[in-house]
Structure 1
Amino acid sequence: MAQRSQKQLAVRNAATLNRTHLIALLIHTLYHLSRFFLHRRLSLLTYFLLVFPSLVIEFYLERLSRPTHNPDFSLKRAGEDLEAKGLTEWMWDLLYWTWACVVLVALVGDRGWWAWVVVPGYSAWLAFTTFTGMKSGLSGMMGAGGSEGAEGGKGGGEAQSKRQAKMEKRGGQKMVYR
């Protein structure tokens, strides 16, 4: 039972990679059949430019996660987990979105590539909202957040905790700010 989890990971990775390559083959074959029979004016240059990142990701995942075996068929390396969070998850999302765009192009023609704009558009929107949220959060730390107006000028402009406010209300320990 040694390395049971590694063996399970190797089996799961091999199955996932085989399924991924089969789906990619079917989708790209569908595109080329559609280009040959339905939409003869589909741009191959656009196809290669927009599909190239997904092919690079697919082969990177293959290289990183394909299990390797010793000559005696014992497991040498299980490969990286394909279900990992973070960058691996982002690569899968990009791969799936590219496949969806290729199918859309096969169905409606070159206008379907405009769906690819959603990825950089969403990334730009996410970066903008993160930056503006961070900017407003940092301005609150610098004293420009407007907390003085809510306190009514009490305590030298610094915010009080609920415990401090209760203690001052009872007449107990009063905090002196210098």
Structure 2
Amino acid sequence: MAQKAAKSLASRNTFILRRNHLVTVALHLLFLLFQILFVRPRSWVLYLTFCLPAIAIEVYLDVIGRPEYSHDGFLRRPGQDLDAEGLTDYMWDVVYWTWINILLVLIFGNNAWWLYLVVPAYTIYLAATTVGGLKAMFSPPKDDEGATTAASESKRQQKLGKRAQQRMTYQNQY
């Protein structure tokens, strides 16, 4: 029963990595097979441009998620959780979108590579909404005319503000 959570994380990571590597290899072999068999060749430059980042991400996820075992067969490190939210989740989105894009290129031709631009557009959208949310979070509330409302301040904050104004007027008199 020792390290039950670590062992289950290690087995889940191993399953996820094995499944994703098999799908990636199958899709790339399918693409290469279509590349060789059909007369109208696909663009190698676009293929490498759009697939290399996903392959690099998959290698990175393999490095951080692969469990390590000692020579005795005991679990040393289960690896990081590959189902984690945040950046890891976004990396999986890039890998999955690359898979979808490879299939679309096989069906519709080279022009489907340009659908890959959805990924940077989505990133820009997420960044813009995050920055907008941060601005709204740190800006003081405003009333209809754009001035900050005194009612949103506590009584203690209002008293401290009045004292600061009085100190400024006293300093300006001398």
Q: Which amino acid aligns with 1:41?
A: P
Instruction: Please give the per-residue CA displacement for 1:44-76, whole angstroms capped at 9, x wherever unaligned.
Output: 121111101111111111111111111111112
CA distance in 1, matches of 2:42, 2:114: 14
Cα displacement (A) at 1:11: 0.8
Cα RMSD, aligned residues only: 2.7
Divergent runs of 4+, >6 A = none
Q: Are the equivalent residues in 2 in contact too, given 1:69–1:76 (CA < 8 A)? A: yes
Structure 2 alignment gaps of length 5 or more: 163-174
Q: CA deviation at 1:149?
A: 3.7
CA distance in 2, matches of 1:78, 1:34: 38
Query: 1:62 and 2:62 equivalent?
Result: yes
Shift of 1:124: 2.0
Partner of 1:15: 15
Aligned to 1:76: 76
Identical amino acids, percent of aligned pairs? 38
Counterpart Cα distance in 1 of 2:67 and 2:133:
42
Partner residue, 1:123: 123
Whether contact under 8 Å (1:34, 1:107) holds in the other structure is no
Residue 15 of structure 1: SS of its match in structure 2? helix
TM-score, normalised with respect to structure 1:
0.76
Q: Secondary structure at the match of 1:76?
A: strand
Q: TM-score, normalised by structure 2?
A: 0.78
Q: What does 1:15-164 align with in structure 2 at a 5 Å threshold?
A: 15-38=15-38, 40-132=40-132, 134-135=134-135, 141=140, 145=142, 147=143, 149=145, 158-160=149-151
Shift of 1:130: 3.9
- Structure-2 change in CA distance of 1:148 and 1:82 (3 Å): closer
User: What per-residue deviation string (whole Å, max 9, x for no partner) do you get for residues 102-126 of structure 1?
Assistant: 1111111111101101111122233
Shift in Å at residue 36 of structure 1? 1.9
Counting matched residue pairs gives 158
